[in-house]
């Protein structure tokens, strides 16, 4: 389903005002100089300038800390689960983060269906926003993405001059456009579609990182016993920021809080495969007890394991881990080195 409309110049903020009246609206805002997604009451709060929010929007579906249920056991067991979210719009998601959603979906909707994630996915309309620049760390093109790719969005917006092309990609996107119908014009969309294609070509030519993934999956897996990982791990501090900021990472821990009066809560909290405790068994055994094993696991998960399990790469080329790593461990350099290691 692709139908195209035009959102005329100057109409974006009023459109977001309208969306906020009809949905719970989550959008990028700049707070103390940091770009973040949070709930907004209107378009005036939303940052429309180009930028990749520091923390990926996966937090909307998979929050950093999430109450799973509370319980009271004094008089039989009573479980109380949180009510689901109201109809929401997640606005301004960049193409790499849209792919982050399609990468996470099979994890939470596979052999085990995660009702917490899926309820939020179901009740959220995702509005993507094409990039207008590329950052030095970006390499989404290596994974078949593009700065203007709408895969994973319900409605995809692309800025053309002062106006926006609006591509309706799913029934949820269609419903949003219908509910805000007076903002979207059918006239002139073909010209905007051509302008979007030209923008995509121009931005792809500007990628400063050329990443060749040919043969990397098999080579990385074949290097399981290589000393390469040990050398890489010497530099790693094990801080885990690469995994916390990654739109596709999904390790979590379950924490039970017993209040001591037969009531309590169960929480899900982000965890990281870069932390020693993540795989520590109660027996004391740890299958990934060394930093080398954890670093190796992270890269093999991105380059090989996720592909094996779900048919999709575990990386979308957002470059957040490259920008954030305090010791400059760079996944694009790791990919190039894997190709060279004997």
Contact footprint for ligand SF4 (CB under 6 A): 236-242, 245-248, 274, 302, 315-321, 325-327, 329, 331
Q: Which is closer to ligand SF4, CB of 3 or CB of 251?
A: 251
Q: Which is closer to ligand SF4, CB of 68 or CB of 239?
A: 239
Output the CA torsion sign for 319, 325, 331, 332: positive
Is 286 in contact with 279 (CB distance < 8 Å)? yes
DSSP bridge partners of 66: 268
Q: Which is closer to ligand SF4, CB of 143 or CB of 192?
A: 143
Is 88 in contact with 23 (CB distance < 8 Å)? yes
The CA angle 326-331-335, to the nearest 5 degrees, is: 150
Q: Which is closer to ligand SF4, CB of 165 or CB of 316?
A: 316
* Closest separation in Å from C-beta 201 to ligand SF4: 23
Distance CA 155, CA 174 (A): 8
Q: Which is closer to ligand SF4, CB of 268 or CB of 291?
A: 291
* Closest separation in Å from C-beta 278 to ligand SF4: 12
Q: Which is closer to ligand SF4, CB of 103 or CB of 163?
A: 103
Say which DSSP state 243 is in: H
Number of neighbouring beta carbons within 10 Å of residue 339:
14
* Closest separation in Å from C-beta 175 to ligand SF4: 30
* Closest separation in Å from C-beta 94 to ligand SF4: 11
Report CA-CA distances (Å) from 83 to 63, 115, 258, 267: 15, 12, 21, 15
Distance CA 256, CA 265 (A): 6
The tokens describing 189, both together, are 């969309």
Distance CA 14, CA 189 (A): 20
* Closest separation in Å from C-beta 277 to ligand SF4: 14
* Closest separation in Å from C-beta 65 to ligand SF4: 20
Q: Which is closer to ligand SF4, CB of 45 or CB of 293?
A: 293
Q: Which is closer to ligand SF4, CB of 183 or CB of 278?
A: 278
Residue 314 CB burial class (10 angstroms; 0-12, 13-18, ≥19): buried
Helix axes 228-235, 331-340, angle to 10 degrees: 160
Report CA-CA distances (Å) from 16 to 7, 26, 39, 46, 92: 12, 10, 12, 8, 11
* Closest separation in Å from C-beta 244 to ligand SF4: 9
Is 98 in contact with 153 (CB distance < 8 Å)? yes
Q: Which is closer to ligand SF4, CB of 124 or CB of 272?
A: 272
* Closest separation in Å from C-beta 315 to ligand SF4: 3
* Closest separation in Å from C-beta 142 to ligand SF4: 10
The tokens describing 326, both together, are 């305090």
φ/ψ of residue 319, rounded to 5: 80, 5
């Amino acid at each position: 389903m692709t139908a195209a409309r035009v959102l005329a110049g100057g109409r974006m903020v009023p459109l977001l005002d309208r969306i906020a009246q009809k949905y719970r609206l989550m959008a990028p805002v700049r707070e103390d100089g940091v770009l973040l997604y949070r709930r907004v009451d209107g378009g005036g709060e939303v940052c429309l300038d180009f930028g990749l929010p520091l923390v990926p929007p996966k937090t909307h579906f998979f929050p950093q800390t999430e109450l799973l249920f509370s319980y009271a056991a004094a008089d039989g067991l009573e479980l109380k689960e949180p009510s689901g979210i109201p109809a929401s719009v997640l606005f301004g998601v960049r193409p790499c983060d849209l792919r982050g959603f399609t990468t996470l979906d099979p994890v939470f909707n596979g052999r085990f269906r995660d009702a917490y994630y899926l309820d939020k996915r179901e009740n959220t309309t995702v509005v993507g926003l094409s990039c207008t620049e590329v950052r030095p760390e970006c390499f989404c093109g290596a994974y078949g993405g593009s700065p203007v790719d709408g895969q994973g969005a319900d409605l995809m917006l692309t800025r053309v001059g002062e106006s926006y092309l609006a591509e309706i990609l799913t029934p949820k996107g269609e419903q949003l456009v219908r509910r805000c119908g007076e903002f979207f014009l059918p006239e002139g969309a073909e010209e905007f579609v051509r302008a979007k294609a030209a923008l995509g070509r121009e931005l792809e030519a500007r990628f400063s990182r050329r990443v060749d993934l040919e043969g990397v999956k098999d080579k990385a897996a074949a290097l399981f016993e290589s000393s390469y990982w040990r050398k890489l791990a010497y530099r790693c501090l094990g801080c885990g920021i690469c995994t916390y900021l990654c739109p596709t990472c999904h390790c979590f821990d379950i924490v039970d809080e017993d209040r001591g009066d037969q009531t309590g809560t169960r929480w899900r909290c982000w965890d990281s495969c870069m932390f020693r405790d993540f795989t520590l068994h109660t027996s004391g055994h740890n299958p990934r007890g060394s930093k080398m094993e954890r670093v190796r696991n992270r890269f093999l998960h991105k380059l090989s394991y996720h592909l094996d399990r779900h048919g999709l790469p575990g990386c979308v080329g957002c470059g957040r881990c490259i920008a954030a790593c305090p010791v400059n461990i760079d996944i694009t350099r790791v990919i190039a080195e894997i190709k060279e290691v004997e």
